[in-house]
Amino acid sequence: MPEPVTFPSSSKFFPPPYQPDLDGPPISMLETARQKLLLILGDLTNPCTRDAVQREHLRLLTDSPGYAAFFLTSLDRYERLLNAKPVLIQECVADDPWKLLVAVMLLNKTAGRVAVPIFWELMERWPTPEALAQADPAELEGCIRCLGLQSTRAKRLIALSVAYLDSPEQQHPLEGQESSTTATKKRRPEAPTPVSHLPGSGPYALDSYRIYCGGPGAWRTVMPRDKELVRYIKWRWAADGVQWSPTLGVMGHANETYLEQLIHELVALDPYTRR
């Protein structure tokens, strides 16, 4: 007699199926959905919104057969999407635009898993623009040698820090203003940012600034080319239930097939885990 076929209880991308606590009383799927709903609603601060959402979902859970399964499946998918969020170094230093610009200068044409540890080493030695502006070029080159182009990068890091001290963020940048590094190159028209005048502020740096330092909602206007920024923007739109393309922009509602594919893509192509 052949052995029964067994299936794994979980995989890399899908959590194990719901299993009730066998030591306690059985909990129905409907009750599980109700408990999850109340847990989610606890995060809503507007009591009117919270009460309205609770009434509608409780009505659907009670009156619509199968809604509990749909609700739990959708919630599970959303939780997996949130857990697949691309966490980039730009977000970690978004409260300090100078650090963000230093980070993206190191990340340019360099894998994050290589550049990010070097960035933190630089921040330990030269934690402020004042310190990095006065750094010994030879010492700085030694710290970033493993990234390549150490001489060029060291000069640009020092020049960036000097310029940031002389002329920090401009609250009202001039239209069409470009950095000294990119002014002679052709590039797509972009709205100026408070750091557009600084050396090294190319499209990657400016897109990073808009997304992470541009204030609430600024990310919605950005159409980045960098693949890691594209991953983040796709995730950010998907968290709002919207399908987004780096070439076409907003494409409509994010259905379950799109979300499952995106979750798989985000997990499989994590730049800090893949080799």
Please give the positions annotated as active site.
226
Nearest to 203 by CA among 44, 195, 126, 43: 195
- Residue 79 identity: E
Considering only CA atoms, which of 143, 142, 108, 138 is closest in space to residue 123? 143
CA distances from 225 to 29, 118, 128, 231 (A): 44, 24, 29, 10
Counting Cβ atoms within 10 Å, is residue 182 exposed (0-12), middle (13-18) or buried (19+)? middle
CA-derived radius of gyration, the chain = 24
Is there a contact between 88 and 103 (Cβ–Cβ < 8 Å)?
Answer: no
Distances (CA, A) of 263 to 17, 116, 240: 18, 24, 14
